[in-house]
Structure 1
Amino acid sequence: MAGVNKAQLTETDIITKFILPAIKDAGWDVMAQIRQEVKLRDGKVVVRGKLAARLAVKSADIVLYHKPGLPLAVIEAKANKHEVGKGMQQGLGYASLLDVPFIFASNGDGFIFHDKTNPSQLESEIALHDFPTPAELWHKFCIWKGYTSEQLPVITQDYFDDGSGKAPRYYQLQAVNKTIEAVSAGAKRVLLVMATGTGKTYTAFQIIWRLWKAKNKKRILFLADRNILVDQSKNNDFQPFGSAMTKVTGRTIDPAFEIHLALYQAITGPEESQKAYKQVAPDFFDLIVIDECHRGSASEDSSWREILEYFGNATQVGLTATPKETDDVSSTDYFGDAVYTYSLKEGIEDGFLAPYKVVRVDIDVDLQGWRPTKGQIDKNGEQIEDRIYNQKDFDRTMVIDERTLLVAQTITDYLKRTNPMDKTIVFCNDIDHADRMRRALVNLNPEQVARNEKYVMKITGDDDEGKAQLDNFINPKKAYPVIATTSELMSTGVDAKTCKLVVLDQNIQSMTKFKQIIGRGTRIDEKYGKLWFTILDFKKATELFADERFDGVPEKVIRTTSEEITDPESDFDEELADETPPEEAGNAVTALEEEAAEYGVTPDDEPTVFVEDDEHKIRKFHVSGVSVKVLAKRVQYYDADGKLVTESFQDYTRKTLIKSYASLDEFTSKWQGSARKQAIIEELEQEGILWEVLAEEVGKDLDPFDLLCHVVYGQPALTRQERAANVRKRNYFTKYAEPAQRVLSALLDKYADEGVKEIEDIQVLKLKPFDTLGRPLEIIKSSFGDKQAYENAVNELENEIYQLPPRSA
């Protein structure tokens, strides 16, 4: 491009003037195949004290597609002052997320081409006019993937697009595409593992849609074991199937429909007359998608497995957040290894799932045990078996009213400290426990219950009134119910986006169950202020964080007491606000049976241990008048390496900055040498340093530069106003003509009021008092001559602002 000085162009200019024309000239379709500024992640939510913020995320400059939903290449651009391959490492990271083999880096002079399909020469330099055509990259891509010609009609089938702009996230693309690849290649069993809250149902819909539209699969069965899972799918993600879809009811499979949604319990049962799936031939369905496949269908001797075996010739796709691997049950034995896994940890790191804190409360009778007196009888007149009862027993074989009241009081006091209207799920051991917990919470919250009697509801499988309120509980627009007591019904399949408090008063040993319960809080809803949540743990259940099978550690763990939470004069608020990275917990010691089915002999909400025959049924004693209290508090944190730490946020900031800048001279040199101070501020935010939290802990409203110099290097803490005053004392402005002095003086005032970010943005010249001087370009021309001179003056002003006081000898 003649007459253009590339060195003066921005990265955006390089893309517009050189890179995009080269791509278009190679035959790429602007509307269907080229996307700019593709944001692959949402930005991790960082919790510091009671504040939370998203870290900024970078977008891929350009992604090239064979067609929407089938990415082929990533292009990363840099300004021309950089070497041509400067963006390659960044591009490789994006390519890994998208699972594409082609990465291009460019500064406008040409391209460095990284080609994973050519291991003999991974990187080469090509000219702008030699950019590959869509056909060339697609051909190489198909060979790299190993696609056959028979697969291509299915592989290239369009995703569903309703025109709303909603597109699959990068991991959903990978999950769908890898499943389609496996099915089109003839795989009969496919397993997808995706953390709770990452859109498994939406992913399942896109898989079914593409296979159905490609006529690869004509009759499809979507199986689940909870009614809410079927109804949510039918009413939300699966709606586009319209009249082709039906929910199986009345134990009748209607062959007139192509898409069937069904409960296991609706198409089978212990009696032959209940086995509705046998109404159709074994080859009727050619695709079966099983939601939450870690439950009944994974067990070899499950009565539900017979459905999958009957339709054994159909392709079967299992979806789960928690594949089950025990001596008796194995998801992978049946489905094979997962074709794709997206973990809770990845979801939190990407910003698609909410991080969480853990508040642990240890109760004395739980840890020290309780023993009845000789011959003591319970409230029902039963003589209590003489032995020591401990945490595993309470609310299973032994009920202590005072313990129930203490837990309920702690929950109440915690909500009063935070927000009494925060949606809360209390997981209890069984239905009876959930009932008593509801009653205790009602009695402890008379004012809230007086406002609305549904403030606390028991939502369990045996309670129609409670189940009727489930939709209201999970609806962000509905304030009530606020607190739901449950045992099993809400442990899975409940999309409670605004749940901010998960209470564990249930013995849990199963990692599968634990992950499902944690998943009740991991959804994010920024519109309603839900970015993170808290787990209030009374049963040491969160010691399962130490299990190597758990893949997402909490932000923070606090071991505390009920008195600490209750007492307004205690330092519990400071413990919540004091923030450091999380610490690995101890070993798991508790136990829990697996949940029972929603339909069948036992209620959905009742653990199987309580449905044995009368002769073997476990006896439950019920006592009151027992002294119950909490033990001493202990604060724990998780760091990135799973080690115990007790540092403040200032300590965290100090440790983080020293890694990059060992001395004050190194840091100030970097700061003064940067044309944009805001760039350094944003880089440090990426490291988890939140300025509002640091300022709150220091107790002063300081500039980020002074916060760091003070906290990390022990320098005096100057305010922005003090720095501005020091600049004026040095008569720095006299070197400029009067018009420029007016502008720089006003910029200094802006800095004193709002900070360096404000003066680095040229748009500040549109604001008061500059608006009285003319338009921005007029101000720059009349006061400084040109834009470069203006930017140099602003940079010089910043250097004056950030002069350090002379060091004493």
Structure 2
Amino acid sequence: MVPKATEADTRAKLIDPALHKCGWTEEHIKREVSAGAIEIIRGQARRRAQGRVDYLLRIKLNPDTQPVAVALIEAKAEHLPPNHGLEQGKLYANSKRLNVPFVFSSNGHLFVEYDRITGLTSQPKPMNQFPNPVELQARYEQGMGFKLTEPSALPLLTRYSGGEGNRRYYQDAAIRAVFEAIAQGKKRAMLSLATGAGKTFIAVQLLKRIADAGQLRKALFICDRDELRSQGTIAFQKVFGSNAMAVSNGKPEKNARVLIATYQTLDIDTEDGGANFLTNHYPENYFSHIIIDECHRSAWGKWSQVFTHNPDAIQIGLTATPRQIEVTEKNKEALQDAKITADNHKHFGEPVYEYDMSQGIEDGYLAACEIERRDVLLDGKKEREYGVTKEDLKRRKLLADAYTGEVLSPEEARKTYRAASLESKLILPERVSSMCSDFFSHLLATGGPEQKTIIFCASDDHADKVAAEMGNLYAIWCSTNGKKGVQDYAFKCTASNSGGDYLADFRGSMQRYMIATTVDLLSTGVDITPLRNVVFFRYVQSPILFYQMVGRGTRIDTPTGKLMFRLYDYTDATRLFGEEFLTKFTKKSEKPRGGGEGNDDGINGPPPPPPERTIIAQGFEVKITDAGKYILTMVDGKAMPVTVEEYKERLSQKLIQEAPTVEDFRSRWVNPNERRTLLSHLPDAGHSALLVRMLEEMDDFDLYDVLAELGYGVAPKTRIERVESFVYKHEGWLKGLPERAANTIKALANQFAKAGTDGLESQQIFRTPEVMKAGGLESLKLVGKPGDLLRQTKERMFVA
């Protein structure tokens, strides 16, 4: 029985040749890959295989321009109907994924198209009728309402700074969505991307490509806190150098082209802020482009003055909050969120691109979340909806006024305390003790007490009490188990005690500062990648604030092997997740009231640490965990561990410096001396390319394809696929040769399938049995110089 052809066979033997005949070269095609979904099984996280899109078709106007994605093709095995992959392709193509208007599905013989602009689906058509690049460009331009040759579209065609090796598929989709809006004549655009998805990277690339297009005069990047300003300044200066500067009181930094400022510095952080710093230092329409980071953080009235003062500027809002937040509760915070969302949408319009937390988890770029809902002492639902009455308080052992510390009897307490007032107006020591004890027991059951954790508390005083209680529990545990405890195990991190001073240690040290108790200080903008737990001891009524708090845990941390975090909910805060969003999470069952007694989650003792192995590859020490790979390499003269993604970014940037376009790269690659020089100028003297090939499991690919994908976004071909494409791309040339000479050329090409570029440059190539059997040197002498024919074979091997 003959086995059925696979999707790979369909791509290589049917679709690739058909696309080439229609004018789609390798430089028009990109393979988009995601990190691979994270799944949680019995409390342990692991990665699945990488996600992959078969073909992303891109329009390229000339060798120096950035290709613009316009379509995708889902390939299916030839025995399946041609529309078999259409629904999957439509899912990928929408404005929450790849953001392209045309979707194709093909079995290699026929194709079906879905046009997102018109909403029409075609009948099956033969592959020889597949639209060529010129046709799709015309349809794209007509649907979008602009031509790619117009000045307003120039940022779309401006290439990425440092190549395409350092961007993710959704970041490219978001950047294109903004540039498309600008090309359509719009001056406002909003992007909604989850915390940890790289909004700052997007902001930097937006402004850099606008600047390279010659359309940036002065830009302003506004953020909410000093920590965010520092992070943003570092990111912008990596690309803009001294042309990007942080604005502070007394230093408007007007010589720089990109200014990074906080709301507070500009005097637009409060409702009655006079915007004095803004108006005194920067005349009207001083800025050509303005990006507001975390635009959901402030109500419209707080920062509108920066827009009204620069009415002609391109205005871009970045938010981590989902577009649709269903406000079912009529409390002050929820209603304020609704107003902020409405104001943002009124000003910016609907987001031009969205990438939410659930999608980030599904793609494997954000840590998976396991929810542990707890209900300690009081009836959570009743408590949240109706508050706590004197009758409820009579069974409490001790009550105290949160402001005075005075012990109260139930009779002396207020008639009713709303849920949001607990721990801020009424201290229940029994409740604090039970919550902390319950949570500490979960730490012990999930790896031990020394896990980076944020506990969100109701007030500064509440944060003090929780920190003290957690510290006591830890000290008792250390004493009981004969352990030497870490220093500063639990600490309060709030504005009142200059909590920001602790952030560096909390973020970086694994020997100190494990449990941070806070109110608002850590709710946004602080990257703590090793964070394992987010805990709610505080009632939260603002959906916007809730999403920000949860976002603290979503970053993956490769050095510690972190792929997941746990969300412990003691106040029913997770009700604020949208229904659609909830389905993406792993939720553990509800637990009985009372807390801290036993553990019924099916885990007997601490789980094993994430598996980690160290290998030596190309002379480098490489540590590998499920969270990713990182490499010990030299950075600024010091041996530093960097992730493979960071390492690839450095390699891509250097490659683009040496060979700005793929044409330059191809020209240098086919010349042995030029290729050796090029590789020697790459990081780690060319070993970097070999290392990336090994770590990315691309042993079947020539180094040419590894580097072409990394620097220029060209879809890579295996050595065998490249030989197969050589035959159909140069069919006319081969047919023009005598049969024996053509067979010899094909035999020479097959040496590439075995050994890559080096195989074609072997001094013994004409003596290999396969080449000699096909006709050998003598068959080529009848046509021309064998050396010239071999050189042409090598050059044609890499023709797009």
TM-score by structure 1 length? 0.62
Task: Report the equivalent of 2:452.
Answer: 423
Task: Report the equivalent of 2:41.
Answer: 48
CA drift of 1:246 comes to 0.4
CA drift of 1:230 comes to 1.4
Tell me the distance in 2 between the aligned counterparts of 1:214 and 1:265: 32
1:456 corresponds, among 490, 497, 510, to 490
Secondary structure, aligned partner of 1:426: strand
Kept in 1: contact 2:399–2:408 (CA 8 A): yes
1:414-563 → structure 2 map (5 Å cutoff): 414-419=442-447, 420-446=449-475, 450-464=484-498, 466-475=499-508, 478-525=510-557, 528-545=560-577, 554-560=585-591
Task: Report the equivalent of 1:751.
Answer: none
- Name the amino acid aligned to 2:297: R
Are 1:214 and 2:237 an aligned pair?
no
Kept in 2: contact 1:408–1:441 (CA 8 A): yes
Tell me the distance in 1 between the aligned counterparts of 2:124 and 2:471: 70
Kept in 2: contact 1:355–1:531 (CA 8 A): no
Residue 275 to residue 236, structure 1, CA distance change in 2 (3 Å)? closer
Kept in 1: contact 2:192–2:318 (CA 8 A): yes
Give deviations 1:316-365, integer Å, cap 9, x for gaps. Answer: 21111226743577322332222222233333344433232123132249
Kept in 2: contact 1:116–1:122 (CA 8 A): no
1:110-259 → structure 2 map (5 Å cutoff): 111-112=111-112, 122-128=122-128, 131-148=130-147, 149-150=149-150, 153-163=153-163, 165-170=165-170, 172-236=171-235, 239-259=238-258
Tell me the distance in 2 between the aligned counterparts of 1:548 and 1:90: 22
Residue 207 to residue 370, structure 1, CA distance change in 2 (3 Å)? same
Secondary structure, aligned partner of 2:46: strand
Kept in 2: contact 1:425–1:483 (CA 8 A): yes
Tell me the distance in 2 between the aligned counterparts of 1:365 and 1:119: 50
Tell me the distance in 1 between the aligned counterparts of 2:421 and 2:467: 20
Are 1:27 and 2:26 an aligned pair?
no
CA drift of 1:49 comes to 2.4
Kept in 2: contact 1:474–1:497 (CA 8 A): yes
Secondary structure, aligned partner of 1:181: helix
Are 1:344 and 2:391 an aligned pair?
no
Which moves more between the two structures, 344-353 or 390-399? 344-353
CA drift of 1:7 comes to 8.2
Q: Aligned-pair RMSD on alpha carbons?
A: 3.6
1:326 corresponds, among 335, 338, 345, to 338
Tell me the distance in 2 between the aligned counterparts of 1:114 and 1:571: 50
Residue 272 to residue 175, structure 1, CA distance change in 2 (3 Å)? closer
Secondary structure, aligned partner of 1:16: helix
Tell me the distance in 2 between the aligned counterparts of 1:571 and 1:7: 49
Kept in 2: contact 1:114–1:124 (CA 8 A): no
Residue 501 to residue 561, structure 1, CA distance change in 2 (3 Å)? farther
Residue 549 to residue 305, structure 1, CA distance change in 2 (3 Å)? farther
Kept in 1: contact 2:337–2:544 (CA 8 A): no
Kept in 1: contact 2:445–2:604 (CA 8 A): no
Residue 488 to residue 113, structure 1, CA distance change in 2 (3 Å)? closer
Tell me the distance in 2 between the aligned counterparts of 1:120 and 1:52: 41
CA drift of 1:268 comes to 1.7
Are 1:291 and 2:293 an aligned pair?
yes
1:656-667 → structure 2 map (5 Å cutoff): none
Are 1:102 and 2:102 an aligned pair?
yes
- Name the amino acid aligned to 2:191: L
Residue 360 to residue 437, structure 1, CA distance change in 2 (3 Å)? same
Tell me the distance in 2 between the aligned counterparts of 1:560 and 1:251: 55
Tell me the number of residue pairs that the alignment of Structure 1 and Structure 2 aligns.
560
CA drift of 1:118 comes to 7.5
Secondary structure, aligned partner of 2:532: strand
Secondary structure, aligned partner of 2:359: helix
Residue 310 to residue 10, structure 1, CA distance change in 2 (3 Å)? closer
Q: Give unpaired runs (5+ residues) of structure 1.
A: 578-809
Give deviations 1:56-91, integer Å, cap 9, x for gaps. Answer: 465222222124562122233344444555544444
Kept in 1: contact 2:103–2:115 (CA 8 A): yes
Residue 61 to residue 108, structure 1, CA distance change in 2 (3 Å)? same
Residue 205 to residue 271, structure 1, CA distance change in 2 (3 Å)? closer
Task: Report the equivalent of 1:62.
Answer: 55
Tell me the distance in 2 between the aligned counterparts of 1:219 and 1:105: 44
Kept in 2: contact 1:69–1:173 (CA 8 A): no
CA drift of 1:537 comes to 2.0
Task: Report the equivalent of 1:705.
Answer: none
Tell me the distance in 1 between the aligned counterparts of 2:528 and 2:220: 26
CA drift of 1:52 comes to 3.1
CA drift of 1:495 comes to 2.1
Kept in 1: contact 2:194–2:357 (CA 8 A): yes
1:513-662 → structure 2 map (5 Å cutoff): 513-525=545-557, 528-545=560-577, 554-560=585-591, 565-567=596-598, 570-573=599-602
Greater relative contact order (CA < 8 Å, ≥ 6 in sequence): 2
Give deviations 1:548-586, integer Å, cap 9, x for gaps. Answer: 69666642143325866443xx53446999xxxxxxxxx
Tell me the distance in 2 between the aligned counterparts of 1:356 and 1:58: 22
Are 1:400 and 2:428 an aligned pair?
yes
Kept in 1: contact 2:524–2:549 (CA 8 A): yes
Residue 56 to residue 147, structure 1, CA distance change in 2 (3 Å)? same
Task: Report the equivalent of 1:646.
Answer: none
Tell me the distance in 2 between the aligned counterparts of 1:264 and 1:150: 35
CA drift of 1:293 comes to 0.8
Residue 423 to residue 431, structure 1, CA distance change in 2 (3 Å)? same
Kept in 1: contact 2:337–2:543 (CA 8 A): no
CA drift of 1:538 comes to 2.2
Secondary structure, aligned partner of 1:361: coil
Give deviations 1:229-284, integer Å, cap 9, x for gaps. Answer: 11112223662121210000233322211000001111226786952442121111
Tell me the distance in 2 between the aligned counterparts of 1:338 and 1:273: 27
- Name the amino acid aligned to 1:317: I
Tell me the distance in 2 between the aligned counterparts of 1:542 and 1:114: 38
Tell me the distance in 2 between the aligned counterparts of 1:393 and 1:223: 33
Secondary structure, aligned partner of 1:72: strand
Residue 505 to residue 57, structure 1, CA distance change in 2 (3 Å)? same
Kept in 2: contact 1:153–1:214 (CA 8 A): no
TM-score by structure 2 length? 0.63
Residue 362 to residue 151, structure 1, CA distance change in 2 (3 Å)? farther
Residue 443 to residue 82, structure 1, CA distance change in 2 (3 Å)? closer
Which moves more between the two structures, 405-414 or 383-392? 383-392
Secondary structure, aligned partner of 2:423: coil
Tell me the distance in 1 between the aligned counterparts of 2:152 and 2:400: 74
Kept in 2: contact 1:113–1:126 (CA 8 A): no
- Name the amino acid aligned to 1:281: P
